[in-house]
Protein backbone atom coordinates (compact mmCIF):
# COMPACT_ATOMS: atom_id res chain seq x y z
CA UNK A 1 0.00 0.00 0.00
CA UNK A 2 1.35 3.39 -0.98
CA UNK A 3 1.35 6.07 1.73
CA UNK A 4 1.17 9.80 1.07
CA UNK A 5 3.30 12.06 3.27
CA UNK A 6 3.07 15.85 3.03
CA UNK A 7 5.28 18.16 5.07
CA UNK A 8 8.96 17.22 5.17
CA UNK A 9 10.35 19.64 7.75
CA UNK A 10 12.48 18.76 10.76
CA UNK A 11 9.92 16.27 12.05
CA UNK A 12 8.12 15.08 8.92
CA UNK A 13 11.28 14.20 7.03
CA UNK A 14 12.43 11.88 9.80
CA UNK A 15 9.02 10.30 10.28
CA UNK A 16 8.72 9.63 6.55
CA UNK A 17 12.25 8.21 6.41
CA UNK A 18 11.39 5.70 9.12
CA UNK A 19 8.35 4.55 7.16
CA UNK A 20 10.47 4.00 4.05
CA UNK A 21 13.17 2.17 5.99
CA UNK A 22 10.47 -0.13 7.34
CA UNK A 23 9.64 -1.09 3.77
CA UNK A 24 6.73 1.20 2.93
CA UNK A 25 6.27 2.87 -0.43
CA UNK A 26 5.87 6.64 -0.02
CA UNK A 27 4.59 9.44 -2.24
CA UNK A 28 5.82 12.69 -0.74
CA UNK A 29 5.32 16.40 -1.24
CA UNK A 30 6.88 19.49 0.27
CA UNK A 31 6.34 23.13 -0.67
CA UNK A 32 10.11 23.58 -1.05
CA UNK A 33 10.88 20.45 -3.09
CA UNK A 34 14.61 20.23 -2.33
CA UNK A 35 13.76 19.13 1.20
CA UNK A 36 12.35 15.97 -0.37
CA UNK A 37 15.65 14.95 -1.97
CA UNK A 38 16.97 12.79 0.89
CA UNK A 39 13.70 10.88 0.88
CA UNK A 40 13.75 10.47 -2.90
CA UNK A 41 17.27 9.09 -2.44
CA UNK A 42 15.75 6.54 -0.04
CA UNK A 43 13.19 5.58 -2.68
CA UNK A 44 10.23 7.92 -2.14
CA UNK A 45 8.28 9.15 -5.15
CA UNK A 46 8.09 12.95 -5.34
CA UNK A 47 4.73 14.45 -6.27
CA UNK A 48 4.38 17.86 -7.93
CA UNK A 49 1.42 18.97 -5.81
CA UNK A 50 -0.71 17.87 -2.86
CA UNK A 51 -3.32 16.95 -5.46
CA UNK A 52 -0.93 14.47 -7.08
CA UNK A 53 -0.33 12.87 -3.68
CA UNK A 54 -4.07 12.56 -3.26
CA UNK A 55 -4.39 10.82 -6.64
CA UNK A 56 -1.69 8.32 -5.74
CA UNK A 57 -2.82 6.89 -2.40
CA UNK A 58 -5.69 6.14 -0.01
CA UNK A 59 -3.75 6.80 3.18
CA UNK A 60 -2.12 10.15 3.74
CA UNK A 61 -0.10 11.75 6.55
CA UNK A 62 0.35 15.49 6.96
CA UNK A 63 2.93 17.14 9.23
CA UNK A 64 2.73 20.91 8.78
CA UNK A 65 3.56 24.02 10.80
CA UNK A 66 0.28 25.94 11.00
CA UNK A 67 -3.48 25.57 10.59
CA UNK A 68 -3.24 27.83 7.53
CA UNK A 69 -0.73 25.51 5.89
CA UNK A 70 -2.87 22.45 6.61
CA UNK A 71 -5.95 24.09 5.13
CA UNK A 72 -4.13 25.16 1.98
CA UNK A 73 -2.56 21.72 1.41
CA UNK A 74 -5.83 19.90 2.06
CA UNK A 75 -8.41 22.19 0.57
CA UNK A 76 -6.60 24.84 -1.50
CA UNK A 77 -6.74 25.01 -5.30
CA UNK A 78 -4.24 22.15 -5.51
CA UNK A 79 -5.39 20.44 -2.32
CA UNK A 80 -5.36 16.68 -1.90
CA UNK A 81 -8.82 16.23 -0.43
CA UNK A 82 -10.71 16.37 -3.70
CA UNK A 83 -8.20 14.02 -5.36
CA UNK A 84 -8.24 11.19 -2.81
CA UNK A 85 -10.26 8.09 -3.76
CA UNK A 86 -13.43 7.51 -1.69
CA UNK A 87 -13.13 6.42 1.93
CA UNK A 88 -9.45 7.38 2.19
CA UNK A 89 -7.83 7.96 5.57
CA UNK A 90 -6.14 11.29 6.38
CA UNK A 91 -3.87 11.31 9.43
CA UNK A 92 -2.93 14.84 10.46
CA UNK A 93 0.14 14.90 12.72
CA UNK A 94 0.39 18.71 12.72
CA UNK A 95 0.14 20.62 15.99
CA UNK A 96 -2.97 22.75 15.50
CA UNK A 97 -5.96 23.81 17.58
CA UNK A 98 -8.89 21.52 18.38
CA UNK A 99 -11.58 23.56 16.63
CA UNK A 100 -9.46 23.57 13.48
CA UNK A 101 -9.00 19.82 13.71
CA UNK A 102 -12.76 19.37 13.93
CA UNK A 103 -13.21 21.64 10.91
CA UNK A 104 -10.75 19.57 8.87
CA UNK A 105 -12.36 16.33 10.02
CA UNK A 106 -15.77 17.60 8.87
CA UNK A 107 -14.36 18.70 5.52
CA UNK A 108 -12.92 15.25 4.97
CA UNK A 109 -15.96 13.35 6.24
CA UNK A 110 -18.38 15.40 4.14
CA UNK A 111 -16.77 14.04 1.00
CA UNK A 112 -16.56 10.51 2.27
CA UNK A 113 -13.13 10.28 3.87
CA UNK A 114 -11.97 9.31 7.34
CA UNK A 115 -9.83 11.45 9.63
CA UNK A 116 -7.42 10.92 12.51
CA UNK A 117 -5.58 13.63 14.44
CA UNK A 118 -2.23 12.31 15.65
CA UNK A 119 0.13 15.02 16.80
CA UNK A 120 3.35 13.84 18.41
CA UNK A 121 5.24 14.62 21.59
CA UNK A 122 8.98 14.62 21.09
CA UNK A 123 11.35 16.58 18.90
CA UNK A 124 14.15 15.92 16.39
CA UNK A 125 16.01 13.09 18.08
CA UNK A 126 12.97 10.98 19.03
CA UNK A 127 11.60 11.59 15.51
CA UNK A 128 14.82 10.25 14.02
CA UNK A 129 14.96 7.25 16.33
CA UNK A 130 11.30 6.35 15.87
CA UNK A 131 10.61 7.12 19.49
CA UNK A 132 7.83 9.67 19.26
CA UNK A 133 4.71 9.58 21.41
CA UNK A 134 1.53 9.73 19.32
CA UNK A 135 -1.46 11.46 20.91
CA UNK A 136 -4.36 10.24 18.84
CA UNK A 137 -7.97 11.20 18.27
CA UNK A 138 -10.20 9.09 16.01
CA UNK A 139 -12.34 6.00 15.62
CA UNK A 140 -10.96 2.79 17.09
CA UNK A 141 -11.04 0.97 13.76
CA UNK A 142 -9.31 3.82 11.95
CA UNK A 143 -6.62 3.99 14.60
CA UNK A 144 -5.99 0.25 14.51
CA UNK A 145 -5.63 0.48 10.73
CA UNK A 146 -2.54 2.69 11.15
CA UNK A 147 -1.28 1.46 14.52
CA UNK A 148 1.49 -0.47 12.79
CA UNK A 149 2.72 2.78 11.19
CA UNK A 150 2.58 4.68 14.49
CA UNK A 151 4.66 1.84 15.97
CA UNK A 152 7.32 2.36 13.30
CA UNK A 153 7.56 6.12 13.95
CA UNK A 154 6.95 6.10 17.68
CA UNK A 155 7.60 4.32 20.93
CA UNK A 156 4.00 4.59 22.16
CA UNK A 157 0.51 5.67 21.19
CA UNK A 158 -2.10 7.16 23.47
CA UNK A 159 -5.52 6.85 21.90
CA UNK A 160 -7.03 9.74 23.78
CA UNK A 161 -10.57 9.55 22.38
CA UNK A 162 -12.65 10.62 19.39
CA UNK A 163 -11.47 12.96 16.62
CA UNK A 164 -10.02 16.17 18.07
CA UNK A 165 -8.78 14.75 21.34
CA UNK A 166 -5.29 13.97 20.07
CA UNK A 167 -4.93 17.61 19.14
CA UNK A 168 -6.47 18.64 22.47
CA UNK A 169 -4.05 16.51 24.50
CA UNK A 170 -1.09 17.88 22.56
CA UNK A 171 -2.24 21.42 23.27
CA UNK A 172 -2.64 20.69 26.98
CA UNK A 173 0.80 19.05 27.07
CA UNK A 174 2.47 22.04 25.44
CA UNK A 175 0.90 24.45 27.92
CA UNK A 176 2.68 22.45 30.65
CA UNK A 177 6.00 22.74 28.79
CA UNK A 178 5.56 26.48 28.39
CA UNK A 179 4.53 27.12 31.97
CA UNK A 180 7.21 24.93 33.52
CA UNK A 181 9.88 26.71 31.50
CA UNK A 182 8.74 30.16 32.63
CA UNK A 183 8.33 29.06 36.24
CA UNK A 184 11.86 27.70 36.25
CA UNK A 185 13.25 30.82 34.58
CA UNK A 186 11.65 32.97 37.29
CA UNK A 187 12.90 30.59 39.97
CA UNK A 188 16.46 30.89 38.62
CA UNK A 189 16.13 34.67 38.57
CA UNK A 190 14.86 34.82 42.14
CA UNK A 191 17.60 32.47 43.31
CA UNK A 192 20.46 34.30 41.58
CA UNK A 193 19.16 37.63 42.88
CA UNK A 194 19.71 36.15 46.34
CA UNK A 195 23.27 35.16 45.54
CA UNK A 196 22.90 31.47 44.71
CA UNK A 197 24.72 30.38 41.55
CA UNK A 198 22.82 29.05 38.53
CA UNK A 199 24.82 25.84 38.86
CA UNK A 200 23.75 25.28 42.48
CA UNK A 201 20.12 26.08 41.61
CA UNK A 202 20.05 23.70 38.66
CA UNK A 203 21.82 20.95 40.56
CA UNK A 204 19.47 21.18 43.54
CA UNK A 205 16.18 21.75 41.75
CA UNK A 206 16.44 19.78 38.51
CA UNK A 207 16.91 16.49 40.29
CA UNK A 208 14.06 17.06 42.71
CA UNK A 209 10.30 16.56 42.69
CA UNK A 210 9.33 20.17 41.92
CA UNK A 211 10.80 20.55 38.42
CA UNK A 212 9.35 18.93 35.29
CA UNK A 213 11.74 16.22 34.04
CA UNK A 214 12.23 17.80 30.60
CA UNK A 215 13.88 20.81 32.28
CA UNK A 216 16.93 18.63 32.94
CA UNK A 217 17.42 18.59 29.16
CA UNK A 218 17.54 22.39 29.15
CA UNK A 219 20.16 22.65 31.91
CA UNK A 220 23.14 22.98 29.55
CA UNK A 221 21.35 25.65 27.51
CA UNK A 222 20.55 27.66 30.62
CA UNK A 223 24.02 27.39 32.12
CA UNK A 224 25.93 28.08 28.91
CA UNK A 225 23.44 30.55 27.43
CA UNK A 226 23.43 28.46 24.29
CA UNK A 227 19.90 28.82 23.07
CA UNK A 228 20.24 27.08 19.71
CA UNK A 229 16.71 25.99 18.88
CA UNK A 230 15.27 22.58 19.57
CA UNK A 231 11.78 24.02 19.83
CA UNK A 232 11.76 27.67 18.73
CA UNK A 233 10.31 30.18 21.13
CA UNK A 234 8.03 31.66 18.48
CA UNK A 235 6.41 28.24 17.96
CA UNK A 236 5.74 28.00 21.66
CA UNK A 237 4.23 31.48 21.50
CA UNK A 238 2.02 30.31 18.64
CA UNK A 239 0.93 27.24 20.61
CA UNK A 240 0.02 29.43 23.59
CA UNK A 241 -1.87 31.77 21.29
CA UNK A 242 -3.89 28.84 19.97
CA UNK A 243 -4.47 27.64 23.54
CA UNK A 244 -5.72 31.12 24.43
CA UNK A 245 -8.10 31.10 21.47
CA UNK A 246 -9.29 27.63 22.50
CA UNK A 247 -9.87 28.77 26.08
CA UNK A 248 -12.05 31.56 24.68
CA UNK A 249 -13.97 29.15 22.47
CA UNK A 250 -14.53 26.78 25.41
CA UNK A 251 -15.34 29.66 27.79
CA UNK A 252 -12.75 28.79 30.42
CA UNK A 253 -10.56 31.29 32.25
CA UNK A 254 -6.84 30.45 32.32
CA UNK A 255 -5.05 33.40 33.93
CA UNK A 256 -1.66 31.79 34.43
CA UNK A 257 -1.51 30.53 30.85
CA UNK A 258 -2.19 34.02 29.55
CA UNK A 259 0.46 35.64 31.70
CA UNK A 260 2.90 33.02 30.45
CA UNK A 261 1.83 33.71 26.87
CA UNK A 262 2.64 37.40 27.26
CA UNK A 263 6.04 36.59 28.76
CA UNK A 264 6.87 34.65 25.59
CA UNK A 265 5.46 37.57 23.59
CA UNK A 266 7.87 39.92 25.36
CA UNK A 267 10.75 37.51 24.72
CA UNK A 268 9.82 37.31 21.03
CA UNK A 269 9.55 41.10 20.85
CA UNK A 270 13.04 41.39 22.32
CA UNK A 271 14.44 39.30 19.46
CA UNK A 272 14.40 35.77 20.88
CA UNK A 273 11.73 34.31 18.59
CA UNK A 274 14.03 31.96 16.69
CA UNK A 275 15.98 30.83 19.75
CA UNK A 276 14.99 27.80 21.78
CA UNK A 277 12.00 28.48 23.99
CA UNK A 278 14.24 28.12 27.04
CA UNK A 279 15.71 31.46 25.95
CA UNK A 280 12.75 33.00 27.75
CA UNK A 281 15.18 32.96 30.68
CA UNK A 282 17.08 35.79 28.98
CA UNK A 283 14.10 38.03 29.61
CA UNK A 284 14.70 37.63 33.32
CA UNK A 285 18.36 36.89 33.64
CA UNK A 286 19.99 40.29 33.39
CA UNK A 287 18.81 43.84 33.67
CA UNK A 288 20.04 44.53 30.16
CA UNK A 289 17.78 42.15 28.35
CA UNK A 290 14.54 43.03 30.07
Q: How far is the CB of 171 from a copy of itself (least distance, A)?
A: 7
Q: How far is the CB of 174 from a copy of itself (least distance, A)?
A: 8
- Does the protein bind a copy of itself through residue 140 (CB under 8 A)? no
Cβ closer to a copy of itself: 42 or 254? 254
Distance of alpha carbon 241 from alpha carbon 236, whole angstroms: 9
Q: Which of 75, 78, 147, 173 binds a copy of itself (CB under 8 A)?
A: 173
Q: How far is the CB of 160 from a copy of itself (least distance, A)?
A: 6
Binding map of a copy of itself across residues 17-56, x = CB under 8 A, - = no contact: ----------------------------------------
Cβ closer to a copy of itself: 69 or 254? 254
Residue ranges in 184-243 that form contacts with a copy of itself under rule CB under 8 A: 184, 186-187, 189-191, 193-196, 200-201, 204-205, 208-214, 217, 237, 241, 243
Q: Which of 22, 111, 220, 269 binds a copy of itself (CB under 8 A)?
A: 269
**Is 170 an active-site residue?**
yes
- Picking from 69, 76, 164, the residue whose alpha carbon sits closest to that of residue 119 is 164
Q: Which of 179, 233, 275, 281 binds a copy of itself (CB under 8 A)?
A: 179
Q: How far is the CB of 111 from a copy of itself (least distance, A)?
A: 19
Q: Catalytic positions, please?
A: 170
Amino acid sequence: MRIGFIGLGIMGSRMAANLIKAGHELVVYNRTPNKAEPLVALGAQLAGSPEEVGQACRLLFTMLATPEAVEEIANGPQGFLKALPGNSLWVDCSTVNPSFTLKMAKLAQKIGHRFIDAPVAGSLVPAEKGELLFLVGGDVTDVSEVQELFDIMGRATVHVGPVGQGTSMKMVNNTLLAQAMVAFAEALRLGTSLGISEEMLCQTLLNGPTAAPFLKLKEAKLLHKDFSPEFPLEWMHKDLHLAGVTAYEQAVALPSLHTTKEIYAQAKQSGLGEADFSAVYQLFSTNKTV
